[in-house]
Every structure is written in structure tokens, then in C-alpha cells.
Amino acid sequence: MKKVGLTRSIHLKFVMIYVLLILLAMQIIGVYFVRSLEERFVNNFKTSIQNRVEILQYTVKEEMLKTRTDTDPKLEDDLNRILRDSRTNDISEIRVINSKSRVIGTSGQNEQNLIGQAAGEKEVKRALALGINHNDIYFDKKSGDRIWVFTEPIESNNEVIGAMFVVGQIETVYDQMNEINAIFTRGTIIALVITAILGVLLAQTITRPISDMRKQALAMSKGNFSRKVKVYGYDEIGQLAITFNNLTKRLQDSQASTEGERRKLSSVLSYMTDGVIATDRKGRVILINDPAANMLNVSRETVVSQPIVSLLGIEEEFSFEDLSNTQDSIILDYSTNEKPYILRANFSIIQKETGFVNGLITVLHDITEQEKIDLERREFVANVSHELRTPLTTMRSYLEALAEGAWQDENIAPRFLDVTQNETERMIRLVNDLLQLSKMDSKDYRFNRDWMDFIGFFHKIIDRFEMSKNQDVRFVRILPDQALFVEIDQDKITQVLDNIISNALKYSPEGGTITFIVEEKNGFIEISISDQGLGIPKDNLGKIFERFYRVDKARTRQMGGTGLGLAIAKEMITAHGGDIWADSVEGKGTTITFTLPYDALQEDDWS
């Protein structure tokens, strides 16, 4: 089980929830309080300025309606004096605009150049045209502070004679709100710290027994049932701790019993040579032992929960219900062109006393060798019977002819006797080959090995065939000049070479060439014998070392072959620790190659 991180701890979650609730409550209160206070301050600010503007408006209107003589000051001068006296810290500028949208007075010292110019503010134009006031908050482009712009029309006898344009420094209100927000934030932080401390203390009283039970659960998951949870009280959590301790005790007893049964079952399954597969009631694999996994060439982890019929590859022929009801075994043939592989599957249902089927047990047996032996035995009996029947049938026919009077014919009788003699010799060769194979299959069969120069030995065998051949076939020798000493049974290797060279002579055409090559390669000497005969088809090349196998059966029998020569050669070469194989191109010839172990150090000793 993974270790619980700090962010996943129930202790921290409890404190965080407690703190977040307090923070949420204070935020709701703060937002409502700040917004209400801000609205109150802004309204007070606007009301204060509007009251002063109303008083100032009356004075400005009197000045505008006043009849002036040449000796009286100009209207602009009087208005500027009145407006300058009306300036306060919260009013940055006051302008007076006449009905012709001309500025006739301003309180700003730096805005005196505006007097006499047209007022371009849309609020002023609206006040002059419609006679309504307007106020709004803007950001000053120069200072970046918020300002409150208030426009009030000046009326006389229901006629608009001008307007007042007031700019208030409302930023001071927001500065006060920022100070209040800072005080509220500091208070919130202090409250949260105190709340967190209290939350930690409170959470410990709840999470401490839960933490103990968590540690006990972790120990139980690792197989330790000796620990007990401490009981801090007899409330609901305390009763849970007591129950948890009782559960631990019962789990310890159950685990000990289950572990014993599991070990027994594991031992039985592990030491079984047969494959065992168990399924649930729906036919899904729940258990498979190592022999079964190896037989099916699958991984135990990947086949769990897989349907048994899919695992065995029989979903097209059988369903799970068919397997549950069958009493016979099923043969599973996984053979390929390169390798035979056959399994036998026996099935047994797992059934309760009520008859309810819980699952299925499948036992797999590898019967590849058994099937192979049975097949070879049947083929061997059929081949031997066929090989013996052919010459016996021929002999019987000729002997019957002789018995019926053919022996009196001086021309026919010798020919019949010659055929009978040839068939008799053919059967003798067949029986001798069979006896040779039988001896080699016997465990008591021994080789009489001795160290000898293989090159000289090979030359003598080639010379013997070259002197006795009655065909126009040329022998080419590509053999090393130096001696190569090997430990072999001379008689057995002589028989191997006789079989191979005899076959090469049989299938070589007139004027053909047989090539003999000996090379040293990686601790072996490699002997190759090549002819220029008909060759062997590619599909038949891997079968020529099998017993009684012939590529062209009719021609082989005609030439007196038994079909056992290369099989005997393979057995003898394998017994010497070597290997034998064939290479052939159909229509161009065949090369038979075999190897024998060769030790250069041993050769130095013999030299």
C-alpha cells in the first residue's frame, strides 16, 4: 500500500475544511461589509459636493443675471473669484459655461486659458440642451486617479442660461476603503491562524485513533497481525477501534488456515508434471500452473480472466457448456510444418452438493512423443511389410513358374533363378540394415573408437570405389595435404561413406563428376560428397534421413536400395558427436555433408 502523503492526510483535510469554512464566512461578511461601506462613502461624497454646488450655483446665477456697468468688474473676473473661494480638497476644478457653450469661469489656476473657449464635454452639451444633470466616475489620464464628474444646469425662469462642470477627487474615498480593506485582511489572517491552531488541536482528537487504525491496516496488509489499536475512549471511534482489534484476531486465524491450504495446493500444482487450469462458473481462467503455461506458451498474468475455449483455441468447435458436459478427452493439435506438438485435455467440473457448477478443471498432457512414436511404429511396420512383400511376391511368382516346368527351359530357368537370387540378396540387405538400426537403438551398443588419419582413410575408400566403378564418372578430390587425426569407429564411418558414395554413383549420369571435399571448421572437420545427378526437390530435402524415405521410390527399388542407408548414416554420425545434412538443386545435383569432432591439440600429440 502506498504511503499517505501530507496532502492526502485526513488530519490536514479536517483542518483545511475547518479553515476554509472560516475563511468563506469571513469573505462573505467582508464582501458585504466593504461593499456597503464603499457605497455609503461614495454617496456621502457625492451628496456633500452636490449640496455645496447648489449653494454655489445660486451665487453664480446671481452674478450671471446681474446688470453690469462699464465700471463694474467683468463677469469672468467675478466668477473666477467666486469659484476660487469655493475650491476644497475634494473638488479639483469647477467650471461655469454660458448658454453658448463658452467657458466663462474656472477655479483652476492652470486652466485660465479655457475661458472664452467652447466646452467640448458631452455632459455639458447635454445639460445645456436638455436641462438635466449628469454624474459619472472616470479615470484621470494624467494622474491615473478616479475622478467624479458632475454637471448641473443653471436655470432662470425655466430657461437654461448656463451649466456648472464640477470635478471631484473621489479617489480619496477609495484610498480610505483600501485602508479599511488592509485592516480587514490583517484581521482575517490573524483569525485564520488562530482557527488553524484550534483546528489542529481539535483534529488530533478525531484523527489519532483513525491514524492508529490505518497503521494497523498497513501492518495487516504486510502479514503482521500482532499489533493492536489503542482505544482512546468509548465513543463511536472507540467502539470502531475495539471492533477493528477483534477483526484483526479473526483475520489472523483465517489467514493462518488459508495459508496452510494454499501451501498444500501450491506444492501439489508445482510438482505436477501435467498442466492444470481452473476456471470460474463462466469459463474464465482463474488459475494456471507453470507446466500448463509452458505447454500453451503463454504468461500466467495475461491469461487470467481469459475464456478457457479461447486459451485452448477451440472456440469454433466447443463452447464452455460443451466442455462441462463432455466425458471424453479432447486432442489439441498445435503442430506446425517444422515441429509436431499435440496435447490431450481432460475436463472435470467443480460442483457443489446442490448441483450448482462452480467451474471447470482442465488437465493437459503432452502426448507429442507418444503420438510420434505410435506414428513411427505404424510407418515402420508398414514400410517393412511393404519392403518384404515386394521381393517375396516376385520370388513366389518366379518359383511357381519354375515349379510348373520353367526349370526345364534352358533359356528361362537361369534368368528366373538370377532374379530370385537378387531378390534374396535384397531381403538380406534389408534385414541387415534393420539389425544395424536395432543395435544402434539399443542402450548397450558400443563404438570401437581409435585415433586415425582421416585423410589417408578417406583416400583408401575413394580408391576402392574408383577401381570398382563400372560407370563413366570422374572423381575429383579436394583434400588437405596434411594428416587430420580424429577419434572414430573405422567400421562405422566406412559404412557411412559407403552409403553416401554408393548413392552418389547410383544417381550420377554418364560423364558426370563426383567431388570429395574435406575442410577444417571451428573444431570440426567437414566432409562433403557432391554429385551431378537429378537432385532432390526442396520439399523433400529435410526428409531424406528418415527411415524408408525415398524421393523416387520406383527408381530406388529398381537400383536395389532399401531406404535405410542415409538413416543409418545419420545415426552413426550423431553418435560420433557430429552432424549431417544435404544441399541440393533439382536437376543439378546433391551434396551430402557431415562433420566429425576434431581437436588440433590431440593431433599434435599424435604427430
* pLDDT for the residue numbered 561: 52
pLDDT at 98 over 70: yes
Residue pLDDT, tens place only, 429-481:
667 666 666 666 655 556 778 888 999 999 998 988 888 888 889 999 999 98
- Domain-by-domain residue ranges, the chain? 11-175, 234-270, 272-366, 372-441, 450-606
Residue pLDDT, tens place only, 120-138:
777 888 877 787 888 888 8
Overall average pLDDT of the 238-245 stretch: 79
- Closest by Cα among 252, 419, 429, 277 to 348: 277
For the entire predicted model, the pTM comes to: 0.39
Q: Which CATH superfamily is domain 272-366 in?
A: PAS domain (3.30.450.20)
The better pLDDT of the pair 601, 304 is held by 304
Overall average pLDDT of the 36-63 stretch: 82
Overall average pLDDT of the 244-267 stretch: 78
* pLDDT for the residue numbered 290: 84
Percent of the chain with pLDDT over 90: 6
CATH code, residues 450-606 = 3.30.565.10
Percent of the chain with pLDDT over 70: 85
Confidence at 596, pLDDT banded by 50, 70, 90: very high
DSSP 307: B
* pLDDT for the residue numbered 162: 85
Asked whether this chain's domains 372-441 and 450-606 adopt the same fold, the reply is no
pLDDT at 320 over 70: yes
| Kind and range of the H or E run holding 572 | helix 565-575
Q: Which CATH superfamily is domain 11-175 in?
A: PAS domain (3.30.450.20)
Q: Which of 108-112, 235-239, 366-370, 558-562 has the lowest mean pLDDT?
A: 558-562
- The helix-helix angle for 171-221 and 10-65 (nearest 10°) equals 170
Q: Which three cell numbers stand for residue 406?
A: 520353367
Please, what is the average pLDDT of the chain? Answer: 79
Residue pLDDT, tens place only, 195-233:
888 877 777 777 777 777 777 777 777 767 777 777 777
The better pLDDT of the pair 192, 445 is held by 192
Residue pLDDT, tens place only, 544-581:
877 666 655 444 444 445 567 788 788 888 888 899 99
CATH code, residues 372-441 = 1.10.287.130
- CB of 483 within 8 A of CB of 456? yes
Residue 471: CA count within 13 A, CB half-sphere: 16
pLDDT at 517 over 90: yes
